[in-house]
Structure 1
Amino acid sequence: MIYVRDSIQCSEIQWKSPIDLECVGLNLSLAPQMSLTLIVLYRPPSANIDFYDKFKEMLKQCDFKKEVIVMGDFNLHWDDNSTRKKLQQIVDGFNLVQMVKRPTRITNNSSTLIDLIFTNHPERITKSYNMLTGLSDHNMVLITRKLTSKRFVAHSGKKEFIGIPRSKQDQFHSVIRNMNWDTLLLDNELEIISQKFTECLQTKIKEFAVTVKHKNRKCSLPWLSDDIKQLMKDRDNALKKAIKSKLSCERQKFASLRNRVIRQLRKAKADFFITIIKNCHGNSKATWDQINKLTGKTSSSNNSIQLKNNGMLLQDPSAVVQTLNEYFVDSVDTIAKSFSVKYNNLPVITSDLLIEPPLYPKSVTISDVEKAIIELKSSRAKDVYGMDTLMLKQIGQSIKGPLTHIINVSLDQGKFPESWKIASVIPIFKGGNSLLTSNYRPISILPTVSKVFEKLVAKQIINHLNCSSFPLHSMQFGFRAYHSTETATCYFLEKVKSNIDKGGIVGGIFLDLRKAFDTVNHSVLLHKLHAFNFSSKFISLINSYLLSRSQSVRIDQYNSTPLLLSTGVPQGSILGPILFSLYINELPSLCKNCDTLMYADDTVILAYGKSAEEVASKLRPCH
């Protein structure tokens, strides 16, 4: 494992051929014309003679036109000429020089130099260190490298936030509250009033918003008490005394203190996490938020994304956002086209699913809009207009009138505002090679005011579906009265338990549908809405909601050119999961002799039998 400061650009080395060694390599970019390769390696004490061939092959794949540093625990005594002979021949062949000069593992009986640092530019290394830490029976080895501050280009390590400061909040709210919406309220041209409303808010947000740079503070371990810190100092002092005296009694004192530190750290850490989990009172989201915060598993800043495109390294943020946006859109189109041929002949609608009465768009009241705003989840994620749900909640009382008017015009005309159809996409690194576009996933942030519309329309759809005995399949646990993820989990556990108790075998297929929301075919979805007795006006509204959507990738202040989306229901939307559930409603009927549990796009197919062969035969047609 290699820890790299956030301000330094780096990418993992992609070896041309597999390297059968315990190692990790990085390319570090210190300046536009200054980079180096850093490799950390571990050689087990039991390694055989093959290690040398593998090590040599690894070095052959390095670019020695650049600076190369190789370091690690080689478990090979460098001070012994006979032991190091083979390794010396290899590193000499690549002009690598070993920089550590003193023993790195010292015991009562031995003193060996086994932790090594090699470089092909020793003149750039100003000093090497060999430090006793008490963290291991090995000393810590370090080097310092010459680096001219004028050449070194590093990111500040600060994250930029655009928002309205507290000092301007009251003035901003006052301006919004006193805005005159009379002309807008008298107009019924949907595109004109929705765009005017959005632009007015955007103008005022830009007028008051400022860019704030926030530097993350270094995290300390909250369970590391002063008593434990003092005990760690005592342990370190005991180690120094044991090494200096070489007495077994001093070594035993050190071992006793070391074990005591380990026990107290484990207990303090366990007690801390138990308290954190108890304070979440069973709220799984709050629990995982705390765990991710403490373990550092939060989304990192994207300000240093680099990509490889057609063999060229892209570092310009403008080119990076454009390349990512094109990849996100093209990858969905490729998948959608691969099975679009199956949608030529849609099935004839039967009346067994029809729900009475038909679903027509119903107008909403100001109190409906006010309630919908309050119920939105608070978030600071900015949409393309610079607004977030937290801000919307703060100014909700001031804009609920014009927003209600726009939503009612939209419902009455069966159209969705065009200005509410563009998503701001944030690329999140999934893991692997950071230079590959395929290792990023898009997180869509829809226009904030559109979520109010979606929440109100979603409520009308759910009420419609729940007015019949059989609106959604009985195995759909989402968006039905008295159904939830908890009831789905209980059903799953009870089915598995009861069959195992009877001596049976249970098999399952857990489906993770690739690009599930993104590849929804609009024609098929609208066809199915008709089967659920959606009126033509409501279907027209949903069709308008889906068509002509676009997205733009954003990294810091850089935005790509918007690209049109030809398929799918919007990611991160409120309506998306409901529409997708209707889209796959007949899935259980395709899996004969199985139970198919669904919650939106999460699906589990279960089969039961007396033997593994019987279960497999039932699942095979579903695979």
Structure 2
Amino acid sequence: MVIQFDFNILHLNINSVINKGFELQKILNEANYDIVLISETKLTSSRPIKQFQNSKYNELFYNRPNNEFGLLGGGLLVYIKNGLKITKQKISSTLFEYIFIQVDIHGVLVNLILSYKPPNQKNELYLEELDNLIFSLDSNIPLFVIGDLNMESAINENFIEFLSNQSLINFMIEPTRTKTRFFKDKLLRKTKISNLDVILHNSNLIEDTLTIECPFSDHNFIAAKIKFSKVKAENKFIQGRNLSGKNICLIIEEISKINFLNVESISCIDTQWCTFKTEIQKILDKIAPIKEFKIKSKDMFPWFDDELLYITHCRDSAYKTFARDKQNGLNYALFYYWKHEFKRQYEQKMIKYFESKTMYDFKNSKKFWEFYSTHIKIKSDKTQKINFTNEISFNGTNADTIPKISELFNFFFTSIKSDSVTDHDDCSNFCDQFFDQLIDNGKIKANIFKFKPVSETDVVEQLDRLAESSGAGYDGIPTKILKCASQYITKLLCVIFNKCLSDGKIPDDFKIAVVTPLYKNKGAIDDINNYRGISVLSPIAKVFEKLLYKQIYAYFIQNKLI
């Protein structure tokens, strides 16, 4: 017996998602859709996007672009339920607005395009771009094109010809937008219904479509029910260790029992370091093993109370009345009042909410910042990692699997070098000549700089200065553990550091950084040149680096070189 399951897609031209984050989260949390598509978000790269994220979905953003005339486009947003496998994706880097994804639904591949055509864009040029995009896809895979095309789909000849050429059918028959205008000179009210929002498909997978009136947009929701197996929403997880206060105490207690005398006697610096690292890692894995932690849903709008809900209802009702008769000044005045009242109350309640909170309400300052940063745009915002591509290219080489993508990123970041034409020998000769000249002029003594052995006091000082929030690095030892266990590990670390100085060699682990590619929020997402690497070194390597810096800096100060 074949059992059919529903796969549901929802689309809305939201006419600006700004100040509608609460309504959007309500749809995502309460409605049961596998993919939610939002057009005309009017989001720009300067807007924070965390408040539009949802723990049940992964998100893809296309920010509102500028054209050569300074006019703005719409902006797109795609929500994909956790558990859905995205095999390919591409986000437009031009004024032709689209987000393309290829979804694997229980072994069946489906291509989906969300697109928006601004009213001022010529129909012929837009359809030509859309035609080229569709032509680049595998025609054997079922295709869905959904969005607001700002064309009357039933009568536009170019659009009808486009559908015929691509073997597409528009499954949206009902009007998706109703607009009423009042003509004072004729005392006549005219209502125009239009079918601007479309669901195009080239196969027979759509079982049903419907429109639903939206209280906060002049467009209706459009939805499609597709014959697929239902995808159960999966929770998002991150990997980490449970470094609670109790576990940290247990870890430190175990570290205090380690006999480091055997480690101190090892002659090879790499073996010595690896033995120390392994002993610490064994304790960590025993007491706080790496495991997956479920990411809990966050209430991004805790100040949204009953009063604000009522004002939201009044604003949306007034907008609907105004949209039916835009020539009526009273309707506009009422809508204008509720719109600005909502904005005033929203900002006022948000400010009062934060004013009433202390750091203790968020457990610590990091938790407070994690919440507060969702409502402001910061330069270091890493939330755009959600747009990470499934394919990357560099110098004609394409990578489409995780291992290959990692290798290509590693090759790219390690191949970046200075544009200087000066080689290592030239630099060495310049330094020798510069210091010889200083010695000849009597500005510095003719002594050769040498690193001095470091003391345990120096090591403790640098360990204390490490930020607990810094990453563990390649060795996997959390900074918090190093700081808390400093009295038990300082002596051995001092031995390791001094051996590095005497042997002129450092452990290989000190040279390795964990690099995370971060999209620059501009340019094609599949172009590797549009990424920068965020490097995380081992905290122990940072301590050693600071100890060396301290001695070099002291030498420069002593000889008045800086």
* Shorter-normalised TM range: 0.5 to 0.7
Does 1:229 pair with 2:324?
no
Q: Which has the higher contact order (CA 8 A, sep 6+)?
A: 2
Residue of structure 2 in register with 1:320 after alignment: 405
**Residues 1:332 and 2:416 are matched in the alignment:** yes
Letter in 1 for 2:161: Q
- Matched residue SS, 1:70: strand
TM-score, length-scaled by structure 1: 0.62
Cα pair 1:22 1:43 within 8 Å, conserved: no
Say whether residues 1:141 and 2:227 are aligned partners.
no
Aligned in 2, Cα 1:462/1:272: closer, same or farther, shift over 3 Å?
A: farther
> 2:151 aligned with 1:76, yes or no?
yes
CA distance in 2, matches of 1:210, 1:160: 6
Change (3 A) 1:154 1:402: same
Given residue 346 of structure 1, which amino acid in structure 2 is its aligned partner? N
Shift of 1:211: 1.0
* Closer/same/farther in 2, CA of residues 125 and 342 from structure 1, 3 Å limit: farther
Taking the aligned partners of 1:307 and 1:24, their CA distance within structure 2 comes to 17
* One-letter code aligned to 2:450: Y
Classify 1:126/1:233 alpha carbon distance in 2 versus 1 (closer, same or farther; 3 Å): farther
Shift of 1:371: 1.5
- Please say if 1:86 is aligned against 2:158: yes
Q: Does 1:427 align with 2:524?
A: no
Structure 1 stretch displaced more, 180-189 or 43-52: 43-52
Match of 1:346 among 408, 419, 429: 429
Shift of 1:177: 0.9
Residue 373 of structure 1 and its aligned partner are, at CA, apart by 0.6
Quick one: distance in 2 between partners of 1:159 and 1:4? 20
1: CA distance, partners of 2:114 / 2:260: 63
State the alpha-carbon separation in 1 of the partners of residues 178 and 558 from structure 2.
77
Task: Give the CA deviation at 1:127.
Answer: 3.3
Query: Which residue does 1:207 correspond to in 2?
Result: 286
Matched, 1:463 2:554: yes
State how far apart, in whole Å, the 2-side matches of 1:389 and 1:319 are.
31
The CA distance in 1 between the partners of 2:424 and 2:460, in whole Å, is 45
1:29-428 pair list within 5 angstroms: 29-31=103-105, 33-44=108-119, 47=122, 51=126, 53=128, 55-78=130-153, 81=155, 84-109=156-181, 110-121=191-202, 123-149=204-230, 156-164=235-243, 167-186=246-265, 190-208=269-287, 209-222=289-302, 224-238=304-318, 253-265=334-346, 292-295=373-376, 297-299=381-383, 306-308=390-392, 314-315=400-401, 317-329=402-414, 331-332=415-416, 340=423, 343=426, 346-347=429-430, 348-349=433-434, 350-352=436-438, 355-356=444-445, 358-428=448-518
Deviations for 1:33-53, whole angstroms, at most 9, x for unmatched residues?
A: 513131312231574765555
The aligned residue for residue 79 of structure 2 is 4
Aligned to 1:449: 540
Given the alignment of the two structures, is residue 13 of structure 1 paired with residue 87 of structure 2, yes or no? no
1-side partners of 2:121 and 2:385: how far apart? 41
Unpaired segments ≥5 residues, structure 1? 280-284, 473-623
Write the letter of the residue equivalent to 1:199: T
Letter of the 2:338 partner, please give it: L
Identity, in percent, stands at 19
Question: CA–CA distance in 2 between the matches of 1:430 and 1:323?
Answer: 18
**Corresponding letter in the other structure for 1:396:** S
Decide which moves more: 202-211 or 392-401.
202-211
Query: Aligned letter for 1:67?
Result: P
Taking only aligned residues, the RMSD between alpha carbons, in angstroms, comes to: 4.2
2-structure distance, mates of 1:111, 1:399: 77
Paired residues for 1:427-506 under 5 Å: 427-431=517-521, 432-469=523-560, 471-472=561-562
Q: CA deviation at 1:365?
A: 2.5
SS of 1:466's equivalent in the other structure is: helix
Report the secondary structure of 1:217's partner residue.
coil
Q: Distance in 2 between matches of 1:35 and 1:286?
A: 39
Tell me the distance in 2 between the aligned counterparts of 1:304 and 1:12.
Answer: 9
Q: CA deviation at 1:293?
A: 4.0
Q: Deviations over 1:184-237 (max 9, x none)?
A: 345565444333222222332233323122325245235544422221023334
Residue 179 of structure 1: CA displacement? Answer: 0.8
Quick one: structure 1 residues 12 and 430, their matched pair in 2 at CA, closer, same or farther if it must change by over 3 Å? farther
Q: Confirm or deny: 8 A CA contact 1:73 1:114 kept in the other structure.
A: no
User: Normalised by the size of structure 2, how large is the TM-score?
Assistant: 0.68
Q: Give the paired residue count.
A: 455
**What amino acid does structure 2 have at the position aligned with 1:298?**
K
| Structure 2: runs of 5+ lacking an equivalent | 1-75, 182-190, 361-365
Measured against aligned partners, the alpha-carbon deviations of 1:23-66 in whole angstroms (never above 9, x if no partner) come to 21312333465131313122315747655555545544454332
Q: Which amino acid aligns with 1:29?
A: V
Q: What CA distance in whole angstroms lies between the structure 2 residues aligned with 1:91 and 1:359?
A: 77
